[in-house]
Structures are given as structure tokens and as C-alpha cells.
Structure 1
Amino acid sequence: MKGCDVYLSEESVKELTSRLSKIEGQIRGIQRMIQEKRSCDEILIQISAVKSALNGVATKLLEDHVQSCVKPSVEAGDLKALEDFLEAVKKLIKGGC
């Protein structure tokens, strides 16, 4: 995913930034819940919501990257872009970088 000239559209940047801002607010909410000694059940539900929201951001990012970078590169005969993309997906699934 290193050699891409086109990255994300302005619309995608706005959407992803908005989603991340909401996630940031959710994280602050979880911090407050812990400080207020709220029930573990409530906190775990919010953590699950944050994980789901982050997965949505990752999915959107992957979809946009395939359309703007991987697909054009592969169509031009550059399979390195596909290999890099698949490696990034593997790392995402494993949860490490």
C-alpha cells in the first residue's frame, strides 16, 4: 500500500474523521464510566460498541483503498499493490502491525 498516488477522496476523509471523532467521544465516555465506578456490564457494552465502530472505520478505509489504489494498480499490471494490501489485511485481522 506504499506506492499509491491517489489516497482518499475528500468525502471519505470527512466521513472517516467524523466516525473517529465519535469514537473519541465514546472512549472519553468509557473513561468517565470507569471513574464513576459504573457497572462492568455497562462498560463492556460500550467497549464492544467502540470495537464495532473501529471495525467500521477499518472496513471503509479498506474499501476506499481497494477502489482508489489497489484496483487501478492491478489493472495496470502492478501486483505489488495487491500483495501489500493483503499483508495489511492480515495484520488487521491478527490485530498487530
Structure 2
Amino acid sequence: GFTGEIVPLVRTVSYITVLLEDDTLLSVLREQIVALINFGMMDYTSQGKSRPKNAFDLANCRTHMSYYVALSRGTTPDGTIIVQALNMSKITSGISVYLRQ
């Protein structure tokens, strides 16, 4: 597996048809590495990494602990962006059975 902060980049290949000004159709092979500026990171992978711009999707956080880890990576409230609405029951319904033991 990958270690550290290595992000695998994969080349994609697609064919597109271009219509030129003289009505000629030209087939073009396009090869590109699709990379997002702010790559995805699992909530617990982000531990210890403060981020001035912290955008995240809470839909995949399974517990209140995941919410805490994801939210606490941001260095300021202004730099924290929640992509989807959070599930309030995850932070208002108490701790999990496993933590109560």
C-alpha cells in the first residue's frame, strides 16, 4: 500500500471529435492526468494535519468521533466548508455502545 501523503495519479485517455472552421471533422486523442487541487483524505488520515482551507463531506463520517476529527482539521471557522448537510443525530444522540463499555 501507499504510505505517507502519496496520491496516485492515473492517466485517462479519451477521443474527441473537433469541428474545424472549414467544416472538417478532426478526431483527437486526448491523454490527461486528472488531479484535484485539494485531494481527498480519510478523516483519521488527516489527524495531526492542520489545514487553513478545510472542505469536507460529512456524509461518509460514520460516528461523532469522525465528525470531530474532520471538523478539527480546519484552523479557522472561515476556512471550514461543509459540502453536505450533517446528520444531527450523530452529534446529539449520545455516545456509541462501544464507548459506554
Q: TM-score, normalised by structure 1?
A: 0.26
- In terms of fraction of residues, the more helix-rich structure is 1
